A and B are shown apart, each in its own frame.
Chain A
Amino acid sequence: MKFIEGLKKIFLIDLFKGLFVTFRHQDPNDLVTEQYPLERPEISDRYRGQPRLVKDENGKMLCTACGACALACPDKLIKVGSMRDPETKKKVLTEFDYDMGRCMFCGLCEEACNTGSLKLSRDYEIALYSRDGLELDRKQLEDGTSRKVYDK
C-alpha cells in the first residue's frame, strides 16, 4: 500500500486529477452565468414582487374598497380611500396608497383580498434612486411603474 502511495506521489497523480477537473468544467454548457439585461430569469408564479391592482377582462376595477388588505397589513402601509356612489349606493374606490418602502412582501394583503384585485406581481425590477418613488398611488398600482429602458 505504501509503495502505491509513493508512486502516486512521484507521478503527481493528485495534481493531474485536479487539472482534469478544471479542464472538464470548460464545457460551455456548464455555465451558470446569466447575462442579465439580455437574458431575463424566469420568475416563479409564487414570487412576491411589486404590488398591482388587477382589473377583470372587461377592464372593470375589481377592488370593492372593503379595506381588508389595509387591516391585514402588519406594517399598516396600505391606505384605501372610498366614497359612496350616490346612485348605486355602493362603495367606490377613490384612492389607494401603497408605501412599498416599508413593505416586507409578506403577501398577507393579497391573501386577505376578497375579489383577487390586489396582487403581488412578478415584477422584480423595482429599484430606485430615492425613496420618494416607492409610495405608489392608485394609478401606478393599476398601470405598474414602467421600467426605464436605456438605449445605447
Chain B
Amino acid sequence: MINNFLGYLHSNVTPGEAGSLIWVTIYVLLVFAGISVGVIFMNWFERKVMAHMQVRLGPMRVGPHGLLQPVADALKLIIKEDLTPANADKIVFWFAPVCVVMTAFCTFIVVPFGRTHAITDMNIGVVFMLGVSSLGVLGVIMAGWASNSHYPLMGSLRSGAQMVSYEIAMSMAVVSAVMMTSMATGTGTLSMIGVVQAQMQQHTWFVFSFFPVGLIALAVFVIAMVAETNRAPFDLPEAESELVAGFMTEYSGFRWSLFFLAEYTSMMAVSSMAVTLWLGGWLRPFPNLLGGRNWDLAFSLVPGLAFLALAALCLFTYTKMPRLKSMRSAALGLGAFASVLGVVGIVMLLPGVRDRVQDIFWFALKVGFFMYLYVWARTTFPRYRFDQLMKIGWKVLLPISIGLVVLTALIGVRQELFALVWR
C-alpha cells in the first residue's frame, strides 16, 4: 500500500494515468489550493499594476506594499450580509455561482503543469477544456435570470450573445493549432500533454510554426479569450457605467466573491490553454537547441534562483523602509515574507525537487505573462460598444480563423499538393 503510494513518485506519468486515487485526490487539492492562491495574488497584482500604469500607488497600507489587501478584502466579503432578492428564484440564484465556480475549476483537470503534473491526461483534453469553459456562461445566464432584476438580465443576455460570437473563432484557432500537432508524426492529438510533446518533437513552439500562421492564430485566440472571460475591453456583461455590475448586481458577500473567484480562475484556465497550445506549455526555453546535461542543470536552477532573487528584493525593500513605529509590523511582515521566499527558493534548488518543480515554474511564468497582458489591456483599452463587439467577432475574427484553418491544412500537405501538381 505504502510502496504503491510512494512508487508513484518514481513513475513518469500523471496520477490519472497511474490510476492512483490517493494521488489524484492530492493533486486535485493541490491544484485547487494553488489556483486559489493564484487568484488572491492576481487580485493584488492587478490592482498594483493598474495603479502604476495610471501613475498611482495602489494598495499600500495593509501589509508591506498592500500584500495583505486581498486577505482583508476576503475577510470583509465573508462578514458581509448575504442578500437574496425577495422575488428571486431562490434555487437558481443559489446554484448560479456554484455552477460558475465549478466549471471554472473543472477545466484544470486536463491542464498540464508539467509532464507529470496534471490531474489526468485525456485524449480529448482540448475539446474538454473548450466545452467546460464555455459552460460557465450558463451560470452567468442563470445568475441574471434568477435575480429577477433588469440590469442582471441585460448583463447575462449580453454575456450569452458575446459567448456565441467568440466561441467559434476561438475553436477555429484551436483547430489550427491541433492540426499542427500532426506535422512530425502524421497523427494529430487532442490531448493537452500530447500537444506539448508534439511541440517538443517539432523543435518549435506552435506560435512560430508556419511563421505568420501560428502567430495570427494565437492573436485570434487571445482576443477571443479576453471576450470569453468577459474582461476589459470586452467586459460588456458587467459594464459598470451602463449596467451597475451586470449579472453580479444582486449578489453580495460570499456569493459575489465566488463570481470573482470564477472570473480569475477562468482567466487562468484560458491563459493556460493558450500557453499549452502555442507557447510550449511546460517546456523550458530552447529545450532542443540548448540541450545537454549542462544546459539542463543551468535551466533547472533558474526557478530556485528566481525565488532567491525575489527574497533578496524583499530584503532590500525591508532595509529601505522608514523606521517608524506605525510601519514596524509591516516591515516585520515583509521580512517574514522575504525569509519564506528564501526558504522556498533553497528548497527548489535541491536536486530531487528542482527536476520535478521546474516544469511548473516555466508554465506559471508563461501563464503569468498572459495575466499581465489581461491587466495591461484593461488599463489601456476603452470598452467596445455592443455592435462593435459583434462586428469584431463575426466579421473579423471568424473569417480570419476559418482562413487560418484552411491555410494550416494547405501548408501542412504542401508536399503532397506539389507532388499532385508536378506529376
Contacts and interface: CB of A to CB of B under 8 A. Distances in A.
B53 A152 contact: no
Interface in B302-330: 322, 324-327, 329
A25 B51 CA distance: 10
Interface string B24-56: 000000000000000000000000010011111
A145 B26 CA distance: 63
23 contacts: A15-B381, A18-B380, A18-B381, A19-B380, A22-B376, A22-B380, A23-B53, A23-B376, A25-B52, A25-B55, A26-B53, A31-B52, A32-B55, A32-B56, A33-B55, A33-B57, A35-B60, A38-B326, A38-B327, A151-B325, A151-B326, A152-B326, A152-B329
Contacts of B326: 38, 151-152
B325 A25 contact: no
Contacts of A26: 49, 52-53
A136 to B, nearest CB: 29
Interface residues of B, number: 19
Interface of A: 15, 18-19, 21-23, 25-26, 28, 30-33, 35, 38, 151-152
B202 interface: no
Contacts of B53: 22-23, 25-26
Contacts of B54: 25
A25 B327 CA distance: 27
A35 B381 contact: no
B339 interface: no
Contacts of B49: 26
B55 A38 contact: no
Q: Is the interface of B mostly helix, strand, loop or mixed?
A: loop
A151 B326 CA distance: 7
A19 to B, nearest CB: 5
Contacts of B57: 31, 33, 35
Nearest to A18: B380
A134 to B, nearest CB: 28
B241 to A, nearest CB: 19
A38 B52 contact: no
A19 B381 CA distance: 8
Contacts of B252: none
Interface string B374-390: 00110111000000000
Nearest to A35: B60
A31 B55 contact: yes
B222 to A, nearest CB: 12
Give 4 nearest A-B pairs by CB, closest first. A33-B57, A22-B53, A26-B52, A22-B380
B380 A28 contact: no
Nearest to A24: B53
B322 A30 contact: no
A130 B55 CA distance: 36
A152 B324 CA distance: 11
Contacts of A15: 380-381
Contacts of A35: 57, 60
A128 B60 CA distance: 26
Interface string B56-88: 110010000000000000000000000000000
Contacts of A28: 52
